[in-house]
Structure formats: C-alpha cells, structure tokens
Amino acid sequence: MDVIQIEGGYPITGEVQVEGAKNSALKLMAATLMAPGVNKLTNVPNISDVHTMGKVIECLGAKVEVLGPHDLRIDTTGVDSWVTPYQLVAKMRASTAVLGPLLARFGKAVVAMPGGCNIGARKIDMHMLGLEALGVEFKVDHGNIYASAPHGLQGTTVTLEFPSVGATENLLMASVHARGTTVIDNAAREPEIVDLANMLNEMGAKITGAGTPLVEIEGVGDLHPVTHEVVGDRIEAGTFIAMGGLVGEPVRVTGFDPQHLGLVLRKYELMGLTIEREERGCSVWRTGPIRPTDIQTLPYPGFPTDMQAQTMTLLANAEGDSIITENVFENRFMLAAELNRMGADIRIEGHHAIVHGVEGFSGAPVTSPDLRGGAALVMAGLVADGYTTVSGVHHIDRGYEGFVEKLQALGARVRRTTVPDED
C-alpha cells in the first residue's frame, strides 16, 4: 500500500499554487451533460475524484479528452443513457450531481446511493424532496434511486430544511429546463454554487441570486456548450495556510480568492497567525505561540467543515484549551484518535471536541480517516519529533493534486512510498 512518510522538525517556506476546486469541478463536469456538444473546462484538478466523475459521464455516453494537465474537453453529443454505474457512484458522493442534469435532459435518471468519505450520513432526502416539488417521482430499490418526471419539470418554490450544497446544485440544474420559474429558498451560498450558476448562465440559463439564500431560476430551452475556468480551491488553500501557520515560517498561497476563506482567516488571526491578503492569494506566518480559539462548523459563510481537521491540528499545539463544535457531519472527529497517537490531548463529547494544547507531537504510524483528516495528519507530521507514516493515502488523492511534491517544494522532508500491505 502507498504511504506518506514525514520527517518532522524542518521548516517549510516559499510559495505554493492551488488547483481548481474539487467541489466545483465535479459539479461542472456533471453540468456539461445538459448541453449537447463540446464543452471545455480549464483549471481542473488532476485528482482521483475527477477521474471517477470522468468515468461516470463516459458511461453515460460522453467523450472526455484530457487536453493538458488541467484542461478537459467533454463532448456530450452522444450521451444516450440516464443510468449511472453503481461501482463508480458508490466511490464518491458527488456522483449524485448527475441526477439534476439527467432529469433536465431526459426527464429520468437512475443513480446509485452515494459513497465517499466515511464522515457521516449520506442522506439525499433534501435532494429528493426538492425535486419532488418540481414534479419528479422517486423509487428506491436495491441501492439505486429511480427518478422520473412523467409530466415534465414544473417551476415552483422550494424551501430547503438545511442549506445543502448538493441539494442546491441538483435543484439548480434540474430547474434550468423546468416550465416557469423556480425559487430555491435557504439555498447553499458556497463559492462553488456561484461557479456552477455562472457556468450555467454562460450556457444560456437564467439564474439570479446565486451566493445568496434566495436563488431564482427562470426555465429556458436548449443550452449551448461553453469554455469555463474552475474557481480556485479554497480548501486546498486553507490546508497550506494552516500548515504555514503551524510551522511558522512564511508561506505564500496563490490561485484562490481569500474572500472565500473569510471566517477561516479571521479565526486564524485570532490564533496568532499573521495573514497578508492579496487579490489572488495570501501569505501566512507566525512569530508567537498558537492561541486557543473556539470553532464551530456551519454552512458557508460559516466555518467550513472541510477545514475542521486542519484547524484541530493547529489547536492541538495551542497554549490552552479550545472547543471545536462539528455541526455538519457527525463522524468527522475520527482524526482525534490518530492525533492522540501522536501525543495530542483531545477528548470527544458528542459533537464537541475539547482540545487541550500540548507542546508538540511525536512521530507515529497513523491512518487517514478521510480526505481532510489525511492532510491534517501529514500536517502534524511536519512538526512532530521523529518520523510519521501516514497510510490510507487514497483518501488524500481524492482531493489534493501533487500533495507530496508541493510540500517537497516548500522544503518539507516528506516522501511517498509503497510498503507491504499488512493483510
């Protein structure tokens, strides 16, 4: 199996450029299904989740061609199937993003129940309830969701119980071809939602209000293919910012909009990190101790659950006690047990993590519990005494391109290698 080995105690400093956002690219790839023809996506991250989504849409009849390291040509002219393969969809929850586009194009879809990281329930009840309001009928059988709109899609007002990103995206895409006007109330506001709406508008949709709690979609006819650049990945950026803050030496992170990390950067400043913002990035360093700070994850523009693990690693080295409250995914504290193996002092009480800061970590063999937790363990290894070996690297591959190479370029003593599987 592949592992990442880190020798701790060496400074990292320099500049790193982040890729396009995983959480945007996957949904934009799904959206190309709505416009028969040749679409081009640029700034696409070269990660395993993108490869999986490429296979999903190819199984539906699309042709995906890699034009360069970060450019995809997607020809959806030949898409003639609305049935997605279980073995691919089960790998990644984002695969359910094809539900809205297939309903818009064919009026029906068959999608497997979602997979992905084991960080909590994968209920898609809100997707289904919202789409039912548009006239979609559902049947769940043997792990598959069968969806159809026998009388077509009809615009209406849909109020989401929770600002779900996935539900908002599926409703956005399905509503584009609905008769009349659809209003999504309590919509998710993430920058990736705005990126999707921008691309759909470029394709000929009429969407207003993306990035606010109230999004309005006026139904239109056919869409046309476009060329679109994926927004920068704020979570990858936040990961390297957290690493720079933990190690302390100046690290400059480029390729993203720092406004997309507004609350994260403000919290990090409260922790004692110095952050210098630019138009397309920021620099981070630290000269004093890490200060304890309480965090609670919430939908955007709140503190993102995808930055919770990296922040837990920072706070585990703070001078004092912090409380992290996880409000989005119930199983997202699995990292704590692995950090405790490295000498952290973290106690879990329900959806709260009580983090008692320690003076440092000790290198140890640890296992990635999920995508962000894996990155956080590598981050801990950078400042640990001795060697840390992180297994479960496939989780990290799902969301970070060239992760080890980027750390090496910053001066980290880190390498990826293969060791015999314990089984």
Q: Could you tell me which residues are annotated as the binding site for phosphoenolpyruvate?
A: 22-23
**Residues forming the annotated binding site for UDP-N-acetyl-alpha-D-glucosamine?**
93, 306, 328
**Residue from 354, 347, 413, 339 nearest 382 by CA:** 413
Place of tokens 């007002």: 157
Decide if 302 contacts 314 (C-beta within 8 A): no
**Residues forming the annotated binding site?**
22-23, 93, 306, 328
How far is 248 from 42, CA to CA, in rounded Å? 33
User: What sign does the CA torsion over 40, 43, 47, 53 have?
Assistant: negative
* Eight-class DSSP state of 360: -
How far is 186 from 250, CA to CA, in rounded Å? 39
**Residue from 139, 142, 135 nearest 158 by CA:** 135
Q: Report the relative pairing of strands 365-367 and 387-391 from DSSP bridges.
A: parallel
Decide if 7 contacts 43 (C-beta within 8 A): no
User: Is 59 an active-site residue?
Assistant: no
- DSSP SS3 for 259: helix
- Catalytic site residue from 117, 145, 353, 384: 117
Q: Which residues pair with 218 in a beta bridge?
A: 181, 206
C-alpha separations of 370 from 304, 306, 397 in Å: 15, 11, 11
Rounded to 5°, angle at Cα 80 from 177 and 29: 65
How far is 119 from 341, CA to CA, in rounded Å? 20
Q: Which residues pair with 137 in a beta bridge?
A: 148
Would you please indicate which residues are annotated as catalytic (active-site) residues? 117
